[in-house]
Structure 1
Amino acid sequence: MISVIVPCFNEEEAIPLFYQEMEKIREQMEETFEYLFINDGSKDRTLEVLRNLASQDEAVQYLSFSRNFGKEAALYAGLKEASGDLVTVMDVDLQDPPEMLIEMKAMLEINADLDCVGTRRVTRDGEPPIRSFFATLFYKVMNKISQVEVVDGARDFRLMRRHMVDGILEVSEYNRFSKGIFAWVGFETEYLPYENVERVAGETSWSFWKLLSYSIEGIINFSEVPLNIASYLGFLTFLLSLLMMVVIVIKTLVFGDPTIGWPSTICIILFLGGLQLMTIGILGKYVSKVFLETKKRPIYLVKEKSKKKVD
């Protein structure tokens, strides 16, 4: 059986279209499908659409969160509920081409040592240029400073064997960055390239600033380099201050001209103050992660859940 995990946030228009396309693929593959829709605190008719769909097809299951916990929580909830031998994660807006599942399944059948078949976008046609630029920059920076390699353009859309899913569930941390977790757990993975596909309905909830914040979270979760940068900047500033003190003393002894100047003093104070605030901010991000983990709060809360049919 293949478990299909589908996070949803205000996707009442896209869900029927996604289901229709997936049913076509299910007929071609002749596999038993299990749909797991995760309603992540939607404000539109998403939950109503899922209820109707579940009443019509026993293969459709859904979870509805008590509020919006984010896509990472929805992914974790779906993986936790999935019972299939193979598990896939897909976007409901059809930006993850369903027909690729056929080739992904075939690759797993041919290569018994392969644990996962992922997908990666090789083009970003249709995206704003600045968004594409920062996305490419993120992958370059992430792979330079992190211990795990995140493939450029890699999507959450992937087909995984059960033992890989179990490994991912072992990583039950509160601060989640799935792309990094998929890479961290290891397992043999191959990627299928494809060109960007625009969403079929609705509007994306991922603004530029949300994506930027998500990228920063990913870097913080999988790298200690920002902490090292803060330490290096502090040390270099200390050396620079020593050098400036020597210059001032020599200038005073040789020329008898003590350094004066209110503007230069203010500039130095502002520079050092800004540097201190930046390093404190970096430290604060890591401390906040520790703070959230030690609270042991649940990753998500379920308000409503479909009833599984009993054969």
Structure 2
Amino acid sequence: MDGEIVLKLSIVVPAYNEEETLELFVSEVNKQTEKLPLEKTFYFINDGSVDNTLGILKKLSVNKNIKYISFSKNFGKEAALLAGLREADGDYITVMDADLQDPPVMLNEMYTKIQEGFDIVGTCRVSRDGEPPIRSFFAKTFYKIINKISDTEMVDGVRDFRLMTRQVVDSILKLKENNRFSKGIFSWVGFKTTYLPYENRERVAGTTSWSFFGLLKYSIDGIVNFSEAPLNIATFVGFVSFLTSCLLSLFYLVKTLIFGDAVQGFPTLIVLILLLGGLQLLSIGIIGKYIAKIFLETKKRPNYIIKESNIKSN
């Protein structure tokens, strides 16, 4: 009908070496969401891919509803998410991975939940089938730790895949920090939120770009960005070490005065020196991590550099 207002859905998709999945992804999303009363626009962010991802995106962009941004190099998923959210102009915005591990069919239920009054409808995996056991163990451990030491709650198994209202995304974009941890940011901004559970899915093609150590670094960044607990631990360790040394000094002084025993035990002394030295280095390392974050923030470097895009500048 003429004059009818059509609401828009922006689909933000970071992509790194996803040449095998892009066409499948677009086809599956269109198929599974064809009944949604929303005008869909895809925002693909090519995060410095070294395969033919950019070529595929240019091919797909003959469809006016497919936009792409290509970075000058690999800046990481956080930068890609930020770029996509900045460009997305929909009334509703979803973040998805191109490998179809985020089931497009869930967008229908997510939209229904939004209509019920929720501002954010997220997803969380109820299983980690197909994932290496050691990765699952450390992932579960991370969520247990972060929820104990941070005021920002993060649901175990939560994914970046979520549907958000315009107001939520505008609030996220007000956070100007360079060192970003989106899972924490999505939770920190608040708003009425619910999570939909689903079974873990394998990639439809290609291989993951996340290594174990990459995920470990990402987890450490999350802890540093959303908790002061490591600094408190460093302070506590320093205090306990100082108190222990005072008590031991007093003990050996009294023992010598009463029994006339000379202080012995050079192996013990060496062990204590190494122990205290290690604790000091650990504490300095923790403090250094926070200082490094401050250093990076003060530089005010851009999160990413766009090499080319088919999105017209406003």
**Same fold flag (TM > 0.5):** yes
Secondary structure in 2 aligned to 1:218?
helix
**Deviation string for 1:93-150 (max 9, x for gaps)?**
00000000001111112x23x1111101010011111111111111111010001101
Question: In the alignment, does 2:256 pair up with 1:249?
Answer: no
User: RMSD of the alignment, in Å?
Assistant: 1.1
What CA distance in whole angstroms lies between the structure 2 residues aligned with 1:27 and 1:296?
42
Check whether the contact 1:61–1:308 (CA below 8 A) recurs between aligned residues. no
Q: Partner residue of 1:219?
A: 223
1:208 aligns with 2:212: yes
Tell me how far apart the structure 1 counterparts of residues 95 and 265 of structure 2 sit (CA, whole Å): 62
Match of 1:97 in 2: 103
CA apart distance, 1:25: 2.2
Instruction: Count residues in correspondence.
Output: 306
Which range moves more in the overlay, 18-27 or 286-295?
Answer: 18-27
Counterparts of 2:127 and 2:224 in 1: how far apart (Å)? Answer: 27
Q: Quote the residue 2:69 is aligned against.
A: 63
Q: Distance in 1 between matches of 2:232 and 2:311?
A: 50
1:74, 1:229 → 2: CA distance? Answer: 33
Give the conservation status (yes or no) of the 8 Å contact 1:168–1:181. yes
Give, as a single letter, the amino acid of the residue that structure 1 aligns with 2:294: V
Ranges in structure 1 where 5+ consecutive residues have no aligned partner:
none
SS at match of 2:34: helix
* Equivalent residue for 1:35, pick from 30, 42, 45: 42
Q: Partner residue of 1:2?
A: 9
Structural mapping, 1:232-243, within 5 Å: 232-243=236-247
Moved over 3 A (4+): none
Alignment partners' CA distance in 2, 1:26 and 1:190: 20
Structure 2 counterpart of 1:49: 56
Partner of 1:37: helix, strand, or coil?
Answer: strand
Contact 1:115 1:164 in 2 (8 A): yes
Deviates more, 1:40-49 or 1:24-33: 24-33
Paired-residue identity, %: 60
Q: Supply the distance in 1 between the matched residues of 2:264 and 2:300 (Cα, whole angstroms).
A: 55
Measured in 1, the distance between the counterparts of 2:231 and 2:127 equals 33
Q: Does residue 181 of structure 1 match 2:176?
A: no
CA distance in 2, matches of 1:151, 1:172: 24
Structure 2 unaligned residues grouped into runs of 5+: 1-7
In 2, the alpha carbon distance for the partners of 1:262 and 1:117 equals 62
**Could you tell me how far 1:307 is from its partner in structure 2?**
4.3
Letter in 2 for 1:264: T
User: Bigger CA drift: 254-263 or 80-89?
Assistant: 254-263
Give the match for residue 26 of structure 2: 19
In structure 2, how many angstroms separate the alpha carbons of the residues matched to 1:117 and 1:271? 48
**How far off is 1:31 after superposition?**
2.4
Query: In the alignment, which residue of structure 1 is the partner of 2:5?
Result: none
Aligned AA (2:170)? D
2:123 matches 1:123: no
SS at match of 1:206: coil
TM (normalized to structure 1)?
A: 0.96
CA deviation map 1:208-266 (0-9, x unaligned): 11111100100000000000000000000011001100111122112211112332221
Q: Deviations over 1:38-73 (max 9, x none)?
A: 000001110001000102x11000000011110000
Deviation digits for residues 3-30 of structure 1, max 9, x if unmatched?
0000000110011111110120232324
Within 2, Cα distance between the matches of 1:101 and 1:134?
29
Contact 1:91–1:157 under 8 Å retained in 2: yes
Q: Partner residue of 2:113?
A: 107
SS at match of 1:27: coil
Which secondary structure state, in structure 1, belongs to the residue aligned with residue 45 of structure 2?
A: strand
In the alignment, which residue of structure 2 is the partner of 1:169? 173
> What is the 5 A alignment of 1:272-287?
272-287=276-291
Secondary structure of 1:34's counterpart equals: strand
Distance 1:2 1:87 in 2: 6
Helix, strand or coil: the match of 2:250? helix
TM-score, length basis structure 2: 0.95
- Out of 89, 96, 118, the residue aligned to residue 83 of structure 1 is 89
**Partner SS for 1:236:** helix
